[in-house]
Amino acid sequence: MSHLLKSILMYSISLLLFSNAIAEELEAKGYEIAKRSDHSDRGFSDSVVKLNMVLRNATGKESSRTLEIQTLEAPNDDVGDKSLVIFDSPRDINGTALLSYAKIIDPDDQWLYLPALKRVKRISSTNKSGPFVGSEFAFEDFTSTELNKYSYKWLREETCEEFTCDVVERYPLYENSGYTRQIAWIDQSVYQTRRLDFYDRKDSLLKTLDFKDYREYDDGIWRSHKLSMRNHQTEKSTDLIYSDYEFKTGLNDNDFNKGVLKRAR
Amino acid sequence: MHDKVIFLCCVFIAITIPQAFSYEIEMAGSISIESRWFPHKAQFPDQFNGAQNSIALEPEWDVQINNNHLLSFIPFARLDARDNRRTHADIREAYWLNIQDDWELLIGVNREFWGVTESRHLVNIINQIDQVENIDEEDFLGQPMINLAIQRDYGRFSFFILPYFRERTFPGEDGRLRSALVVRENNVDYESSAEEWHTDAAFRYSHYIGDWDIGLSYFYGTGREPTLLPNATETRLIPRYDIINQAGLDLQYTYEEWLWKFEGIIREGQGDTFAATVAGFEYTFFQAFDSNADIGFLVEHLYDGRDKTGAPQTILENDLFLGMRYTFNDVQDTSVLAGTIIDLEDESYSVRVEGERRLGDTFKLELEGQLFANTRSTSNTASVKDDDFITVRLSKFF
């Protein structure tokens, strides 16, 4: 082997190793930033909040849904939160309730309560990318965002409104996602997500979610009170307006059981 | 008269108690107008022809006190222009529920639904069917009960004491969708000498293990399903309610787009002990054809091995149910469910289509169509063979 060929080979190998090392470093950095953001939320234990969803079509016509969400924090990163969503309006679905046990990689366990027949129905949670109650939020956008549902890559640092943000790309590890990737802007001061871009299965920009009106509760628990989702492909949008947050209300596993669905109000 | 007194008492309680304690009452409910149109001429002389218009009211009051007491009151009334028996009132719910961390105690009138299948609700037994409302057996009369439910990590145990029995409702002389002879009301036969005051008891265990949901149930008491026997002059059918023992099992296995379902019962007390089952699946194509809509396919086999003479008759001895559900997932929650039940022995079948859509924020429009086809004179559906119908229902929710 000629000397030249040998050096080219050596050079290529080291470049490959080096770029691999860089890629790994970017992944590790992305994961750390996501973890810091996720863990800033640790210890909220449980929450109860009222939600007003405002759905807007391309011509600006509005309709709304009001609901209550109860959440029970998971004990660690290996299991997901439990949640109970109870509809108040539109009035024809008043009392309809959805109980979810979020999983990390496996499909969530979900039960739907239909008040007309007083029937509790276990439903398939394969439908990750389907619309949640006709809104621009897919089921996967709405159920709890667990750290280990994604792999990460740090992209860059840039200013986002009044903050400096880390821009982190994340890739769903669970099956049936409607997205190839998402890009998150996470601020460096209180580690909250400020913006999220969603890329569809064809890898074109589908939606942007803006997180506004963050308020701090006990122990550095931050909650955005206005989430605005814009669909770039259909021009439709959905706002989630949260109010009356309560934490540590004393909810426990017995409050997140399929037996309680029929008395959820 | 008796009904009226109960009704007024409950209204009084619902209004006065919350005021005395000054708790906020939450109100909900609906009012609906309905037109049910029968295109074919009636088979029996007294039955009406054409449209059957009616109006129904079902308000709902809830009071929650300190997160561990819940009062619920849901009266119901329908005024029907054609069938005086379909003009009826009921108390669907009127109960007090005491909620503790791992147990609950309910006293009063309530509705309790068990089961997983779509074409028939075999395991469901606590409430009597309000048959005049609709033939799909999904409307129920309120049942007085004491219900204790205990929640453990390994499942929910629910115990019922049912002190009073409710008779099934049937269409009157003028009504469509009835047997050749009208079913007698009030003066019915009971196996128990205590008649409607026989104390029934029931138990249910329900839980989930991974992708499996399981329910085990047991009922002892006056069976909700009557045996209909002609009187001496053969002018009326007299319902006979027997004391039965019934064990039930319902199972669902949920895997990706598949829901596999099974319901089975064993009943003793009506002729020979018999078993009945419903088994099948529901498969859903989510976001079908690159749209937001979901299309589900349902297949269920129905078997019923009951005694032909000693037990109430059923039309579902060996039948196949095929159905399709189209859910648009749009802002107006539009959905269509179409299904057929085919009798595998005499090849008669029925078809049912149900569609619904919200109008604006508070109205809902529903359409129902029902067709009986290929009915033989010996079929159990022979008396309703000319009773195909279309229902249009507009409801206002508040």
CB contact under 8 A, B99 and A265: no
CB B318 within 8 A of CB B345: yes
CA-based nearest residue to A184, from A70, A21, A58, A31: A31
Tell me, what amino acid is at A114?
A: L
Q: Is A117 exposed, middle or buried (0-12, 13-18, 19+ CB in 10 A)?
A: middle
In B, minimum Cα distance to A94 occurs at B28
CB B249 within 8 A of CB B123: yes
Of the candidates B26, B116, B149, the beta carbon closest to that of A265 is on B26
Note the pLDDT of residue B17.
58
Chain B touched by A39 (CB under 8 Å)? no
pLDDT in tens, B285-318: 999 988 899 999 999 999 999 988 889 988 889 9
In B, minimum Cα distance to A93 occurs at B397
Chain B touched by A122 (CB under 8 Å)? yes
Note the pLDDT of residue B379.
77
Q: CA B226, CA B228: separation in Å to the nearest integer?
A: 6
State the average pLDDT over residues A237-260: 93
Whole-prediction pTM? 0.91
CA-based nearest residue to A260, from B261, B314, B158: B158
Share of chain A above pLDDT 90, in %: 69
Of the candidates A91, A129, A131, the beta carbon closest to that of B397 is on A91
Its ipTM equals 0.91
pLDDT in tens, A107-136: 899 999 999 889 999 999 888 888 999 999
State the average pLDDT over residues B250-256: 96
Note the pLDDT of residue B2.
58
CB contact under 8 A, B64 and A265: yes
How many distinct helices (H) and strands (E) make up chain B?
1, 22
CB B99 within 8 A of CB B70: yes
CB contact under 8 A, B252 and A64: no
CA-based nearest residue to A75, from A46, A51, A33: A46
Q: Is A204 exposed, middle or buried (0-12, 13-18, 19+ CB in 10 A)?
A: exposed
Residue environment code for B351-365, b if the CB has 16+ CB neighbours within 10 A, otherwise e: bbbbebbbeeeebbe
Chain B touched by A202 (CB under 8 Å)? no
pLDDT in tens, A81-112: 999 999 999 999 999 999 999 988 888 999 99
Closest approach of A134 to chain B, Cα-based (Å): 5
Note the pLDDT of residue B1.
46
CB contact under 8 A, B294 and A91: no
Note the pLDDT of residue A1.
56
Name chain B contacts of A130, Cβ cutoff 8 Å.
286-287, 292, 294, 329
Residues 6+ apart with CB under 8 A from B124: B113, B114, B115
Local confidence band at B375 (pLDDT 50, 70, 90 cut-offs): confident
B interface test, pick of A66, A70, A114, A117 with most B CB neighbours within 10 Å: A117
